[in-house]
Amino acid sequence: ASRVVVASRNYADFASEATFEIKKCDLHRLEEGPSTTAVMTREEGLHYYKTMQTIRRMELKSDQLYKQKIIRGFCHLYDGQEACCVGLEVAIKPTDHVITAYRAHGFTYARGVPVREILAELTGRKGGCVKGKGGSMHMYTKNFYGGNGIVGAQVPLGAGIALACKYFGKNEVCLTLYGDGAANQGQIFETYNMAALWKLPCIFICENNRYGMGTSVERAAASTDYYKRGDFIPGLRVDGMDVLCVREAAKFAAEYCRAGKGPILMELQTYRYHGHSMSDPGISYRTREEIQEVRSKSDPITLLKDRMVNTNLASIEELKEIDVAVRKEIEEAAQFATTDPEPPLEELGNHIYFNEPPFEVRGPNQWIRYKSVS
């Protein structure tokens, strides 16, 4: 029935773009902030909607595969936080750089890795984006440096990438992400200091989902104003559940860095629906009612959907068709991820270095040798 309704409406019936009022960012050491209005075209809206819906469905499928013991080990899901990675990605260029922590599936997809390669990586298969050897926390692609399992360790790495951006003079920026749980670490403040001294084009981004593992931000941090934590570095506090808020703030931050003014800090106020990882049911330190309230009032996908329908950028039937297509794509990707073979043992030592001649690597004992190929 929905197909008949969509077919009866001409694309000319829809508005080509709409302007929205968005929440003002809180500012630190900035006289002006991002715009409080955002223009979104129909094409952009459909792209954002499909991308966020794909990430949501991919994470729900990952949850299912984990409970079936097809995915094993560590697995940290991103559902609820989709507006963060999508809003950031559409505000920067493909030549810019991104590095994040272990909740990385959404960023991996936003940076261009197909769903089937992400799910195959989660199941440890040869067709995974890292050939089945990285798993949930270690996914990479061009200008995306993971997925890092050591809490906070990606922040100094991100500053190093930003240093390379400045050194090569390509006018590129590096988005360096970490969570509220990592925000109290000393290495982060050391990195702020170096980045400010060297005026590095680094956007430090704290994804504040209100809980570091099972500890609320109020119990973990004397100050929960993460956007002010850079002290001498300007900061923005952003509604991380609104893809347009994130997009406008990220555009502002990227322009700030490209102008040679040095680093800037963003705090994205967001929320995760799942527990910290798959071993955490997520309801021992917060109530089911709290999670349900966020879902009903602040869900990033619902917010975008309502905006598009209310401004005639899309119809409910059209968005339902996208939902159906996304579910089909996820099911096909899951089928691939559960039938693709595991990588052969002889490839265990491969890809240690990029663009190096082959060399031997010792295996589990001194008599076993593997050849490492880039």
Q: How far apart are the first and last CA of the chain?
A: 52
Q: Residue 250: inside a domain, yes or no? A: yes
Distance separating alpha carbons of residues 328 and 322, to the nearest angstrom: 10
β-bridge partners, 174: 97, 202
- Same domain (yes/no): 180, 240: yes
Q: What was the pLDDT predicted at 4?
A: 43
- Which stretches of 198-241 are assigned E, i.e. beta strand? 202-208, 211-212, 215-216, 235-239
- Same domain (yes/no): 325, 357: no
- Same domain (yes/no): 336, 362: no
**Prediction pTM value:** 0.95
- Which run of H or E residues covers position 301? helix 300-310
- pLDDT digits over 80-132, tens only? 999 999 999 999 999 999 999 999 999 999 999 999 999 999 999 999 999 99
Pairing of strands 235-239, 26-28: antiparallel
β-bridge partners, 21: 37
DSSP states of 139-171: --BTTB-----STTTHHHHHHHHHHHHHHHT--
Q: Which pLDDT tens digits describe the chain residue by residue (374 residues)?
A: 444 444 446 667 899 999 999 999 999 999 999 999 999 999 999 999 999 999 999 999 999 999 999 999 999 999 999 999 999 999 999 999 999 999 999 999 999 999 999 999 999 999 999 999 999 999 999 999 999 999 999 999 999 999 999 999 999 999 999 999 999 999 999 999 999 999 999 999 999 999 999 999 999 999 999 999 999 999 999 999 999 999 999 999 999 999 999 999 999 999 999 999 999 999 999 999 999 999 999 999 999 999 999 999 999 999 999 999 999 999 999 999 999 999 998 888 898 898 999 999 988 888 988 889 98
Residue 197: give its domain's CATH number. 3.40.50.970
- Same domain (yes/no): 352, 299: no
CB 140 within 8 A of CB 105: no
Kindly report the CA angle at 254 between 143 and 56, in degrees rounded to 5?
60
The count of other CB atoms within 10 Å of the CB of residue 242 is: 25
Q: What was the pLDDT predicted at 9?
A: 61
- Same domain (yes/no): 152, 197: yes
- Same domain (yes/no): 357, 259: no
Distance separating alpha carbons of residues 179 and 216, to the nearest angstrom: 12
Q: Residue 116: inside a domain, yes or no? A: yes
Q: What was the pLDDT predicted at 7?
A: 47
- Same domain (yes/no): 32, 82: yes
CB 26 within 8 A of CB 18: no
The count of other CB atoms within 10 Å of the CB of residue 367 is: 7
Residue type at position 94:
P
Q: What was the pLDDT predicted at 366?
A: 85
Instruction: Measure CA 287 to chain center.
Output: 25
- Same domain (yes/no): 270, 358: no
What is the tally of structural domains in the chain? 2
Q: Which residues contact 320 (CB under 8 A, 6 or more apart)?
A: 2
Domain span at 353: 346-373
DSSP state letter for 204 = E
